[in-house]
Structure 1
Amino acid sequence: MRIIILAFFIWSCQTVRVIAENCPRPPLENGFFVPHLEKYDHGVSISYGCNTGLKPALKTWWGEITCTNGQWSHEPQCIDNTWCIAPHVPNAQPVHELRTYYPPSDDVSFQCDYGYEFEGGKSEARCEDGTWRLPVCKRKPKTCDPPHRVYNGMILQPYQDVFEHREQIEYVCRNGYKMHGHKYNTCHNGKWSSSPSCVLDKPTCPKPQVQNAYPAAALKNSYNNGDTVRFVCNRGYRFEGTDSAECVDGTWRLPVCKDPTSCTTPHVPNARPAETLAEVYSNGRYVRFECDSGYEFERRDPYARCEDGTWRLPVCQIKCSVPHVPNARPLEGLDASYSTGRFVTFECNPGYEFAGLHYAQCVDGTWRLPVCKPRGETVCTAPHVPNAKPADELASFYATGRTVRFECDSGYEFEGISYAQCVYGTWRLPVCKDSHRHHDSSEDRGGSLGPDTVVLLPVSICGSQPFVENGDVTILPGERELKVQCQRFFKLQGPEKIRCVNEKWTELPVCKPPCKLDRTLIHSNDEYLQEGEEKTFYCHNSYKKTTVRCFKGTAIYSECRLFDW
């Protein structure tokens, strides 16, 4: 009995949760809603605007509210154009909690963030004719930016954007690492006093040696984990990748200086070496290969040749299997496989005749076959469909009943079938038509409108233009489409064009914000990355590189590492 009651209680809760209330149209003096209805469904967002001389109590000229289970996300209000929305002062915070809007001549007091001070001593913002006259918080002199990141370590003090003159911070390394340099760092006249690092508490490395190279500077007797030493190749050699040796866990990772005319181990697709391969081959050396089963050498040449640092490789091409021609038989015995360029002659069965060539030809593993058609029957030549391309390579002739599949070009779609069919010498062709015109008004087609008909109307029918935050909306020629262009660095996500269909706007796009790059971590002339964009930069004060990716407005930095040239 208890189980039945519990099940009923859970079912009742789920039932209540599914039913969501609609919202009545909220009151709005001196304004209007788009669309204008008495009630709105749960989850619907609507826009509102204000009459001439007024504006929404927001930072945009169009407001938006959302219905959630009978409640609106906020109360829409229209205020005079001379009133001001709550102000924002960069690098400062309001002294008191901000109101939604302020009348003319009202003042709002601010205090600068740590490390900043007011320019001219002015600390108040004043509302003047709908616009704020704002104070300016500027960096104090001799302050420092955040110090460089210390990998495998951290700063004991909380994070700050600005550090004042003579302010000191302390570093600590994670377990298994030790401090290399001073653990204290002091901001002095805008610069940090030291650059500590955390290195593995591992054995040191002795002096490194690189074959066919010499060190760029005098060597020390020992090196700590993570230390690097740059080398210079001897005359006639060049680096393969990095030019530096790195001490890792007591062992050197060494660069390689190679003869630029030599070659590394070769690889031939669809083949295997006939001998054991070496790591390096001098200029002019040969390596013999054997093609895999079902492949053969082009021009019967099985050798790879090292020529001035580059391999000239043989090609293993696929063979053709036994050919078959409908309504025909070969004039000679057939082999198990055929090389590219080989021919096989056929003759048509009684009552059939050739439409064109009478032989099959092997081309790169595929047969080009003749066609035997019923005697006196007309065949079709290769078909052509406007605004489309064939899905497979076309033959010269096609017998009655044969079909060819097509693919419409971008911006077009099939009206009916997607293939052409040969019928007694004539092609029944598919039609690819403009996908935009396909949804145009039925006035061009005649007839009456059904309940599910898509009607593309002039944009004026849908009323005021929709608002796209951080984007500009313009009317295209013909006045049946709107084009959205995002502001600089913002990325368009969604359709570029908006249409008025059945008196409603189609899907609106979104202008995704960019990611601001921290140029204290990288060397870059760029200030922003677009959403989804990925670039590689040199790390600050290092020859290593990092990859930065913009994801949902946040710049994600990979670990700095050596870059393979």
Structure 2
Amino acid sequence: MRSKDLSFIIIFIISGKLSAEEKTCGLPSVENGRIAQYYYSFKKYYFPMRINKTLSFACLAGYTTETGKQEERITCTQEGWSPEPQCFKKCTKPELRNGYISDVKLMYKIQENMRYGCNSGYKTTGGKDEEVVQCLADGWSPQPTCREEHETCLVPELYHGNYSTTQKTFRVKDKVQYECAPGYYTAGGKKTEETECHTYGWALTPKCTKLKCSSLRLIQNGYFHPIKQTYEEGDVVQFFCHENYYLSGSDLIQCYNFGWYPESPVCEGRRNRCPPPPLPLNSKIQTHSTTYRHGETVHVECELNFEIQGSEEIRCENGKWTEPPKCIEEKKTACGNPPFIENGAANLNSTIYYNGDKVAYECKSGYHLRGSTEITCKRGKWTRPPECIENIENCKPPPNVINGAVVDGLLASYTTGSSVEYRCNEYYLLSGAKVSHCEQGEWSSPPICLEPCTINVDRMYRNNIEMKWKYEGKVLHGDLIDFVCKQGYDLSPSNSLSELSVQCNRGEVRYPLCIRKESKGTCGAPPLIKNGVIISSTLGIYENGSSVEYRCFDHHFLEGSRESYCLEGVWTTPPSCLEPCTLSFVEMENNNVFLKWDFDNRPYIFHGEYIEFLCKRDTYIAEFSMIGSELRVQCDRGQLRYPRCIHKG
């Protein structure tokens, strides 16, 4: 009798232990779906649910479960809810112009296919008579369309991007290239793209859109915010865990141009998490985490002069780390004398060198180092030494930087290996390396000083806008300027509110235009300009507040706003394209002058640019002139006023 009682007690204790360790399921989150309201009202009573318990969830109108049903049951398992409660968008039968769909169905489930065909003279998006498309979570892929066959293609209007040419019409098999503005991507997901004209239209219709990241899958025992069908680049999502569960990974992830980063975290019970990894004596670990989840590994390295004994990786398994390696002191192996190099020598600081010791090299006068300046002793052998190369050619003074200068003044000549540092004028932003190096008579590329923007009050007044914030001084290149419409004015319906935030681009500001809310006037064709073209597509009639953009021919200088707006039936003043200047060596010879700088010997000089001259030998600048200014002349609308030097009498 006693033995039976004892058996009963043992069985009861064992079963009790198993029950205590049994995993449970929390309240599930169903995107685009719901569970019964009483589960939410009495959450503490129903949850956490025990293994093998079930509940039902339903999808909202227009969505179905993965199997295509409106409602489905899920079961609590050791791994969580199964199947994972999800609702997917259903695809409706599209209204297809110039084509036909043979199916009689009106709704399609996720991953279900549909075949469609096009009438004579029309082709599918893939250039065929018939094509199969698939229903995905965000709709049909690709969208069923029948395009008319043509002998030419017309480039569509491109928002947030520019074409490489002003040509508007292309023949079949012709190609056009276009580039998207920062933060926007082509139809193929690139910064620049080339697309070909086919009989049914463009292979990929040119467009610039913000990159989108895929929708996020629900996480077991947790939830996230905000929940969207699609996310744009820059969106941030935060994750949370239900009671008694803990986040493993970052609680914040962001949508980048390459996708989500970092990866989504998971919600785990405490027993699946490991503490910080063990650190063996004389070792180092590259780690940035305080906790690790089951299956994660950590790489162990030994300090200098120690070698590893055992596995280089340790793994987190069921809350515990696998056995770490040991770091055993290496036998000291000496390197021989540092290798000899021609026209240089090693700076010896010892008579014997062991693993990890370093020696630096120097070249004698007239030579410079090529390669690393020092070598390292590694397990009895030296790393490769540098070479000493003869300094052959000096450099002339470094190139000028517009709106910037060399920090420490200029010399007449610079030896190979010399360097100069540039700085930009106040409010100008330095782009590129601020240090330029002299190598064998040539300077490395100098930086560029990017112009700041000055807010034009008159332009703001004409465009019916005001500053949202007050700015002190100038606005640096790349900074955003926020505008608001004046009272009684609004943006054109075709423009988004984001266009009120404008970026300073090398001294230029594209001022947004606000129009009277009640205004209805329209404009005809925009005015043409000399030496330039309209790069946006042209229409017959333009709504009040719409705009066109101009571009000058190569080497011509654009003066004024590059955009013209339709205001109350009248176009605002378009820009002017000012002609460049061309150097005349005949005029230079007649005036006894020659170019001061070789880099000014080029086919075209832009309007507004300065050219510097020098008088020929035995000549001097004419009387009654300011020597400094007369020898430095400015290109003015295609005209250069050459200075005149006369012979000494």
TM range (shorter): under 0.3
